[in-house]
Structure 1
Amino acid sequence: MLDQNHGRGAQSNPQNQFLAQGVEADLEFYEHLHLSGDSLKQKTSYLKVTPKTIVNKVNSPDLPFPYSMNPYQGCEHGCIYCYARNSHEYWGYSAGRDFESKILVKNNAAALLRKKFDSKNWVPAPIMLSGNTDCYQPIERKLKITRSILQVCLEYRHPVGLITKNAMLLRDLDILKELAALNLVRVVLSITTLNEKLREKLEPRTSTAGLRFNAVRRLSENGVPVSVMMAPVIPNINSSEIMKIAEKAADNGAKHLYHTVVRLNGVIGQLFEEWLDEHYPDRKEKVLHQIEELHGGQLNDSRFSTRMRGEGEYADHIAQMFVMARKKYKLDGPRIPMDTTLFRRAGESQLSLF
């Protein structure tokens, strides 16, 4: 039996599909470590990259924002179900342990955003942080790249959205309050389970649900529009918690409740099966079968409109549960667009004085 690092989601490091050659693990070495009582601690590496752009056009009708922005690639949160794992292969790494332990850092993100906003061709439109990996993953506490991005958005009065599983965003409450006063920000806390033992297995380096709900409450109390997303709903894992999460969301001042269903795209299907073998072998086949029910007999569906909600009787049942939850706990209020008319480029505020 291979030694498993505590605090990691993936159980392995699958071969990168884009690499012609790979290096096989020395299984005898890992077995020796396990039998001797030692453990192979896989430390997280932070690798500086210097992209030329930071704002990405979103070509998906499933997402409400036309642009996204990712200060990091890879995510130490280690959520086993994360659809973004596959994107790590484009950088030459595995979607498994590499995704959680080799984090690419875009230190020049704020400067790139400033350059984008200063372009005469830029038309202000809401940008989502992050969309691919979490902008408040642990290293953000030290590097403050996300905070610097929010400062640029405030300076230029540009609308921005945030989605995160980390209560660390309260560190930036001062900026978020100023953005909210100008109707320039929306925050979504992604909360998957209230079961702390499940969270430690499912998304091991995220904030606890208690801390995330506390963040929802603090944001709401300070006038920052905040919603809760249950993402993803996983059959027979967290699917029984819909009403409980809705109730907690309402109690803490959330404006809306959203959801997605799990989809195991690319190599994530293999990683998730390994995760089930490790943590829930007794229900593995049932869980996988129910996921297939959501996606026409497959573990994944890449089609727009259906990939995040699923289709069929079981998907309809989940959707109806959320309809009832939103109605019961008043989590279906009007969605007020952010303001794009306040945008100003560098120097424009000073020129307006003359």
Structure 2
Amino acid sequence: MATAKPRAVRGATENRESTRFNLPERAVDGDWLDERAALDEVPPPLRTTVTVEQPRTIIARNQSPDVPFDRSINPYRGCEHGCIYCFARPSHAFHDLSPGLDFETRLFAKPSAPDLLRAELAKPGYVCKPIAFGTNTDPYQPIESDWRITRACIEVLAEHDHPITITTKSDRVTRDIDLLAPMAARGLAAVMVSVTSLDPRVAMTVEPRAPTPERRLAAIRKLADAGIPVHLSISPVIPAITDHELEHLIERGAEAGAYAASFIPVRLPWEVAPLFEAWLDTHFPDRKAKVMATIASLRDGKRNDPNFFTRMKGSGPWADLLRTRFHIACRKHGLNGERQVLRTDLFRAPRGLQGELF
């Protein structure tokens, strides 16, 4: 079977459409069709476009029993990091866009997020709990350098002593240490940095536009040195591609200053599964059968397990072995599995215009 030629510094190898919403499948994008006659074998780079989104609210709520937060903010929709395994890819189908290359190149930004956040914090009856950033798409993906929406939201939270957790695979988070360090000193901030491989070639293939592993480890050190609690996330672990690095990742994370670690075996929900398999065909054809067979052993014979609790842990002998290795390595390097408990008692709601007059 012929495999797709990989796009330069992009993750997905195709622009497969979702079939859940009766959307037509697109094999290629408009730029490709326009320039096809001039192409050689390797497709040209795709340009990233950003569309302004005007949401009515900015805090998303969830009732999932297996995640440690009930609210989150996503300043961006889509993610230029291009991680092939990203479980957020299917969300682009709701916009009649592909979870494949569209997810990485056709992004949405929410510049009104800070104002919406301030308004929601000021609502009567608002109950303060930590707000999680980076639960869907990365708040520090490349466009944050220009749009700075994440930073503006942090400024609002810092102003009102509201707790925040951040998950990212970018060292751009260190640019906001000036905000996060004072918050952490008051028990209001914690950061989780994702490092999935120490091999630059593997990282470049799995997460093509994310910072290198060494830059992420350096970010852990900078954050820790600034007094900000840093949790190492080894998520996802991909069988036969990154699982052999588990112990070394924990060792390096501990050396960099992480206080805790966690991992999640790779998940392949909805449209992510065929994209992941196409990616294997292109980059790891010799290992595809082994990778998919191990994933099936983790997911009760399927490509994905959507059930609460088991979706994050996997099941079966391979999952048990991975957990055993993880716990042994964490004990060896002094990392615990506890998440930082942030304070909520310091929160001060924004004062309305009427209140500011008196």
Question: TM-score, with normalisation over the residues of structure 1?
Answer: 0.94
How has the CA–CA distance of structure 1 residues 335 and 44 changed in structure 2, closer, same or farther, with 3 Å as cutoff? closer
**Paired residue for 1:147, among 145, 151, 164?**
151
Aligned pairs, number: 350
Identity %: 38
Confirm or deny that 1:305 pairs with 2:309: yes
Q: Which residue matches 1:10?
A: 12
Deviation at residue 341 of structure 1 after TM alignment: 0.4
Confirm or deny that 1:85 pairs with 2:85: no
CA distance in 2, matches of 1:313, 1:160: 36
What SS class does the counterpart of residue 179 from structure 1 fall into? helix
CA distance in 2, matches of 1:112, 1:189: 27
Does structure 1 conserve the Cα–Cα contact (< 8 Å) formed by 2:167 and 2:192?
Answer: yes
Q: Which residue matches 2:222?
A: 218
- RMSD (CA atoms): 2.1
Alignment of 1:1-354 (within 5 A): 3-17=5-19, 18-22=21-25, 25=28, 32-34=37-39, 36=40, 39-332=43-336, 335-347=339-351
Deviation at residue 41 of structure 1 after TM alignment: 2.7
Q: Which amino acid aligns with 2:115?
A: A
Q: Which amino acid aligns with 2:148?
A: K
Gaps of 5+ in 1: none
The CA deviation string for residues 180-208 of structure 1, in whole angstroms up to 9 with x for no partner, is 11100110001000000001100000011
CA distance in 2, matches of 1:78, 1:342: 38
CA distance in 2, matches of 1:314, 1:88: 32
Q: Which amino acid aligns with 1:15?
A: E
CA distance in 1, matches of 2:291, 2:337: 33
What SS class does the counterpart of residue 325 from structure 1 fall into? helix
Gaps of 5+ in 2: none
CA distance in 2, matches of 1:241, 1:159: 33
CA distance in 1, matches of 2:17, 2:189: 40
CA distance in 2, matches of 1:295, 1:149: 37
Question: TM-score, with normalisation over the residues of structure 2?
Answer: 0.93
Does structure 2 conserve the Cα–Cα contact (< 8 Å) formed by 1:3 and 1:30?
Answer: no
CA distance in 2, matches of 1:24, 1:8: 16
Does structure 1 conserve the Cα–Cα contact (< 8 Å) formed by 2:169 and 2:195?
Answer: yes
The CA deviation string for residues 89-112 of structure 1, in whole angstroms up to 9 with x for no partner, is 112211000000010111111111
When structure 1 is superposed on structure 2, of 38-47 and 229-238 the one drifting more is: 38-47
When structure 1 is superposed on structure 2, of 284-293 and 16-25 the one drifting more is: 16-25
Does structure 1 conserve the Cα–Cα contact (< 8 Å) formed by 2:5 and 2:282?
Answer: no
